[in-house]
Amino acid sequence: MDAERLLARGRINLMFDYPFLGCLAMNLELVEDKLLNPPTMATDGTHLYYSPEFVLGLTEKQMMGVLAHEIYHIILWHATRECGRSHDRWNNAADYACNNLVFKELDSKTGSEAFELPFGILYEPNFGDNSAEWIYERIPDPPPHHGSGGGKDGGQNTGFDSHEKWSDWGKDFQGEEDTQDIETLWRERIAQAANQARMRGKLPGHLAELVEDTLQPKLDWKTILQDFVVSTVKSNYRYMPPNKKHLWRGIYLPSLYGEEISIAYACDSSGSISPDEAREQLAEIKGICDMFEGYTIYGFICDTNIHQRFVIQPFEPMPELRFRGGGTSFVEPIEEAAKLPISCLIYATDLYGTFPPAPRFPVIWLAFTDHTPPFGRVIRMPEHSPIRK
């Protein structure tokens, strides 16, 4: 079997057993490169370059481990975070960070490490989940060699992959829209891959934390909301027909099918949210629900009590929202939502008010303040959000 087919099989294996990494690996175009130095693998965020001799010498577990290593370089933005540091020392710090994550992935059946990496890698378990910046400050330049052996458990450790393509990061990238850069696209890919892994119950806690840390600072609130909402729904996927959004790149990812979604939306009308903001949020929620074959959105406009209720289903118009001033209490909307067959409640508010006990269903807060609620997940709306203009 040739090297490209082995790589393709490795990506498929990741898709089945480690879907977060597999979905991301599918976004890279495979390119043979016999001039890589060292002759291993490399990525520029668009392509996955490989030396055929290196690929042909890998076991199946090593193949998946190397693919995971390259994906971690991308989602940790190692190519763009060197920032004037010593080049060789930064490269080694980045490899330490990636390899520690690779070895955190466990086989669900045996509980042992799911992946292997080639002989002579940079690995220090005491570095834990810390960033490449943190590791950089704790390794010498260049790192020392210890003993005469090599490999994960000690010895003469070096990096195994090539970072020479990092200087071309995003160089050949063409986004779906002229204004979309490669980092924005990768953040969207990370959110989508996390959704698919969650649906299959295959997003480990350390990856969920990594995804949230990666997405929260930069992603548009709409993308984060979609990630949260879809993650609360048990959905099925199929490969035919594939997800149409990715066909233009020649990438075939699964699409949702055979599922309905029911969610609730509550909006604090006491003055913290404007009618225009509520309409924009509701339109975005409706757009997320359009991903499914059917949906029901239960709506509440409320202050200390609910004073408007509505239901939105496919092909129905958006309701006229009625706002009024007053105080804020989250008790009645959450109690009423608990009577409904919903997968989550989305609540738009400034988070100042009276809270009931945590409900049995997930609550997603859309908040323009830094206040912290006693339960639920918070999407911090940007201070200068377009819907506030």
pLDDT for the residue 257: 47
Question: pLDDT tens digits, residue range 356-381?
Answer: 999 999 999 998 787 889 999 888 88
Confidence grade of residue 174 (pLDDT, cut at 50, 70, 90):
low
Number of domains in the chain: 2
Q: For residue 59, report the phi and psi dihedrals to the nearest 5 degrees.
A: -80, 170
CA distance 8 to 24: 13
Residue 224 has pLDDT above 70, yes or no: yes
State residue 187's pLDDT score: 86
- Residue at which a domain ends, from 122, 148, 168: 168
Q: Domain range holding 99?
A: 3-168
Query: What are φ and ψ of residue 71, in 5° steps?
Result: -65, -40
Residue 128 falls inside a structural domain: yes
Is residue 264 located within the same domain as residue 155? no
| Identity of the amino acid at 264 | A
Do residues 54 and 161 both lie within one domain? yes
In a domain, 218, yes or no: no
pLDDT digits (tens, 9 = 90+) for 24-67: 999 999 999 999 988 999 999 999 999 999 999 999 999 999 99
Whether residue 324 is contained in a domain is answered as yes
Q: Give a yes or no: residue 268 inside a domain.
A: yes
**Per-residue model confidence (pLDDT) at position 177:** 39
What pLDDT is stored for residue 249 in this prediction? 47
| Per-residue pLDDT at 14 | 94
Residues 388 and 276 in one domain: yes
Asked which of 133, 168, 203 is the last residue of a domain, the reply is: 168
In a domain, 195, yes or no: no
The reply to whether 51 falls in a domain is yes
Q: What is the pLDDT of residues 69-126, one digit of tens each?
A: 999 999 999 998 888 888 899 999 999 999 999 999 887 778 788 899 987 789 999 9
Terminal-to-terminal C-alpha distance of the chain: 58
Q: Is residue 161 part of a domain?
A: yes
Q: Note the pTM of the prediction, 2 decimals.
A: 0.58
